[in-house]
Each structure stands twice: as structure tokens, then as C-alpha cells.
Amino acid sequence: MNNGTADGAPDADGDGAGEPACRNTPIDPAGPYAGGPWRNYFLILLDRIPTPIAVCRAHGEVLIANPAMAAQWGTVPGQLRGRNLLDLFEPRAKAQLDRLTEALRLGRRSRYPVEVRWRDRSDGAEREGELTIDPVGDPSVNPPALLALLRVRESVPSPAPRGSASPVEARILALAAGGATTASIGTALGLTVDGVNYHLTRLARRWRVQGRTALVARAYVLGVLSPDSWPPAPA
């Protein structure tokens, strides 16, 4: 990973210092599970894991992310493809990032923790945590893909307004209020069924309600949905 530029592009002088070569080498985000039906199993499992996870290139470009990671950006997984992890997460110590870059340059494969801070786009709260970076995939591929797992530090302040909802969550609630099924909501927003359920479960825990009907009612009470619109729409 290289934070020389915001989008992970090479340095302006073209020497590519600090960034592994072969950045355009095709990499399947499923890694060793890329062949046959295992690739679909891997992607389904990734969607269901509540831990924020992304698979990216060595310079940080996101190849695939699960709904939990996309929620940190206030968006859906498909919108993260091509973005750089360093657009969101700010390393607290540049030396940790330099250590990872040097290890990748030398072909080492180990687990590298990077302390980060960021603003959760779903509720605007400042957060701190740790990205654990693991080089993955075929050992013959250099540089390798990186598996990034985010651990949110529990000591950070809890999200402020209970009535807050990210743009994606508000759109899910609006479609649900109009009677859309989970599958049709997913189709409309580019999410899997598991992705939609992840957001609904997250909202239910935040607002302490159970069931879709209660969620929609709570959304109107809290001003997340406009009371004067039909079809239902975010306020």
C-alpha cells in the first residue's frame, strides 16, 4: 500500500519508488478459491461475515469489499471497486505503512497491523481501530493481493443520533416502506440479499426495534423518511 497519492497512482516523477511493480497484473479477489464453484462460495461467505473486509491490490486499490466494509463508507460494496483504502483510513503511524511497503517489495508474507482512524460515513462519528493486512493468493504472484480486516476499537464513543441513517440505509428503508421485497431492494441498490439484511439488522440494533414494520415506523418518527412523499422517499 502506498499513500504517495490519493488514488494510489505512481509518483509524478514516474520512478514508482515505494510501490510494488506489476500493479496491473490481473488478480482474482477470491485468491486460492478462484477456480470452479469455490469462487461463488467465497463471495457468499464474504457477504455474510460481519467483520469489515476488503481484498485489494498491493497499492491499496479495492478489488472487492463486503457490506460491513462498505458501511464504513456509507455506500454499497460495488461502489468501492477501484477506490483506495487510504482514501478512507488514515494511518496513525506512517512507519507501519512503510514497513508493509518494504515487506511487499522484498516478497515477504506475514500479517501486518496498521493503526488507523477514520470518519464513519454512516453516522459521521470519528473512529479508531486497526487494519490487519495479510498478503494472500498464489505465492508466485508478485506483488500479491492484500486481505484487509478492520477491527473497530470498542473504546471509541458510540454513534450519536439514534435517528441517523446513511444514504444507503435511508434508500433501503424507503423501498421497504413501499412494500419492496428484500430481493427487489437488493436489485435496485446493487446489493445481495445478505447485504440488505445486514443493513436492516444494523438499523434494528441501533434503533432497538424488531421487524421491518417497526423499522419503517421508527424511520418516519425519526424523520429519516419524508412523511409527505409517495412512493416513500428519504427525508
The whole-angstrom separation of Cα 140 and Cα 147 is: 17
pLDDT at 7 over 50: no
The residue-averaged pLDDT of 151-157 equals: 66
C-alpha cell at 70: 462498505
pLDDT tens, position by position, 178-195: 999 999 999 999 999 999
pLDDT, position 34: 52
The whole-angstrom separation of Cα 111 and Cα 126 is: 26
Whether residue 177 contacts residue 216, with contact meaning beta carbons closer than 8 Å, is answered with: yes
Q: pLDDT band for position 196 (50/70/90)?
A: very high
pLDDT tens, position by position, 136-152: 876 677 778 899 999 98
Q: Which residues contact 214 (CB under 8 A, 6 or more apart)?
A: 204
pLDDT, position 14: 41
The whole-angstrom separation of Cα 179 and Cα 5 is: 44
pLDDT, position 49: 87
pLDDT, position 52: 92
Q: pLDDT band for position 23 (50/70/90)?
A: very low
Cis, peptide link before residue 231, omega less than 30° from 0: yes
